[in-house]
Amino acid sequence: MKLRLSGPSAWWAQRLSAVLMLLFATFVATSLVAHPVAGYGQWRDWVAAPGVSLAFVVFFGALLVHMWVGLRDVVLDYAKPSLRLALLGVVALGLLGLGAWLLVILLRLRA
């Protein structure tokens, strides 16, 4: 994936990640309606199931890409040019931190 998302590639990344998140939401909703989880054990086992964990990884990836494109647009639209780079750096660091946290959450289930 291109790291510098801008122009048409940002537009595509925004749309593709949106569709992936819609698919994930549909998957989670239908799955939990069909098999409701009651209590910690069932919740943990459901998220830890390989297929579900994979769906979460795809969702988290799409979420971070989508947040990057959207927050980048907000910064570029409203921040003074002198502040843009610093703010984009803050957003990027925040998203990387969020991604690392999400990875830890999923990896702890396998430990």
Partner 1 sequence: MIEPSRRPVFLDLTKIAMPVGALTSIGHRISGIVLAASAPLAVYVLALSLRDASGWAQAAALFAQPVFEAAVAISAWALAHHVLGGVRHLLTDFGIGASLRVARRSAWFVNLGGLVLALAAATAVL
**Beta-carbon contacts of residue 79 (< 8 Å; ≥ 6 apart):** 87
Q: Which residues of 81-93 are buried (b: 16+ CB within 10 A; e: fewer)?
A: eeeeeebbeebee
CB of 3 to partner 1, least distance (A): 20
Q: How far is the CB of 70 from partner 1 (least distance, A)?
A: 5
The candidate with the shortest Cα–Cα distance to 19, out of 52, 58, 50, 53, is: 58
**Which two structure tokens, joined as six digits, stand for 19?**
């569709």
Q: Which residues bind partner 1 (CB under 8 A)?
A: 15, 18-19, 22, 25, 39-41, 43-44, 47, 63, 67, 70-71, 74, 98, 101-102, 105, 108-109
Residue 46 Cβ vs partner 1, minimum distance, rounded to whole Å: 10
Nearer to partner 1, 85 or 105 (CB): 105
If the CB atoms of residues 22 and 32 are measured against partner 1, the closer one turns out to be: 22
